[in-house]
Amino acid sequence: MSAIGPVWGAATDIGTRRTSNEDSYVAATPVFAVADGMGGHDAGEVASAAAAGALARLAGLTDVTAQDVQLRLEAARARLQALPPTLGRSPGTTVAGVVLTEHEGRPHWLVLNLGDSRTYRLQGHVLEQLSVDHSEVQELVDAGHISPEEALHHARRHVLTRSLGAASSLAVDYLLVPVEHGDRMLVCSDGLTGELDDSLIAGLLRSRPHPQDAAESLVAAAVAAGGRDNVTAVVVDAPRD
Ligand code: MN
């Protein structure tokens, strides 16, 4: 791994409508991830904190593999399984992000996803979504039944097909992407992508040189645009070689 680590920034906001912030994040080289919790009472906060906390245990490690990540997420699931039963919905969470690692002697982003939090890569002027949502509307888009624009406003847009919970099968998507010079990664909860379209997101990412400024600007813009959900953004710039 490069001697000079990545430069990163992170921001989160409760938004304008919610009474608690059930998003959690971890930004601790080499792991950068967001978890968006759900469930009654404080279940969402407990679940997202369990996921972020489990991934935080990868901090300082090199050559992290998908199996290493999977083991940490299994530990998070075990913590949720050990919680006393409560009324209401059981705790669950999304988890999405990147781990900076080595693969075949080259730096790579290990992209992980479970649910509808997202990972994007900005290269020059091009913003590319690397994660694929695990949601009912994504399945409708994939099947050609609705357009991506219709998905943004669909009544069932918040219904997940996969997540991390006590009964989860932990069918996590993993993707290894070579690190390219100038890569800027964005990991965010749906509170960001529900308020800002891709061109606005790309514009803010391009116009803020420091990742912390970029993360704060993105979250502030999403809150200003409505802030109907908790909003979290983690921005990571690839290490300079
Ligand atoms: Mn959310």
pLDDT in 10s for each residue of the chain, 241 residues? 445 689 999 999 999 999 999 999 999 999 999 999 998 778 899 999 999 999 999 999 999 999 999 999 999 999 999 988 775 678 999 999 999 999 999 999 999 999 999 999 999 999 999 999 999 999 999 999 999 889 988 999 889 999 999 888 999 999 999 999 999 999 999 999 999 999 999 999 999 999 999 999 999 999 999 999 999 999 999 988 6
Place of tokens 């069918």: 171
Taking the centre of ligand 1 as the mean of its atom positions, its distance from the CA of residue 169, in whole angstroms, is: 21
Distance (Å, whole) CA 179 – CA 193: 24
Taking the centre of ligand 1 as the mean of its atom positions, its distance from the CA of residue 91, in whole angstroms, is: 14
Taking the centre of ligand 1 as the mean of its atom positions, its distance from the CA of residue 117, in whole angstroms, is: 8
Question: For residues 233 and 10, is the Cβ–Cβ distance under 8 A?
Answer: yes
Taking the centre of ligand 1 as the mean of its atom positions, its distance from the CA of residue 229, in whole angstroms, is: 6
Q: Which amino acid, 133?
A: D
Model-wide pTM > 0.85: yes
Cα→Cα distances 198→75, 118, 138, 148, Å? 34, 12, 16, 12
Structural domains in the chain plus CATH codes: 7-237 (3.60.40.10)
Taking the centre of ligand 1 as the mean of its atom positions, its distance from the CA of residue 133, in whole angstroms, is: 13
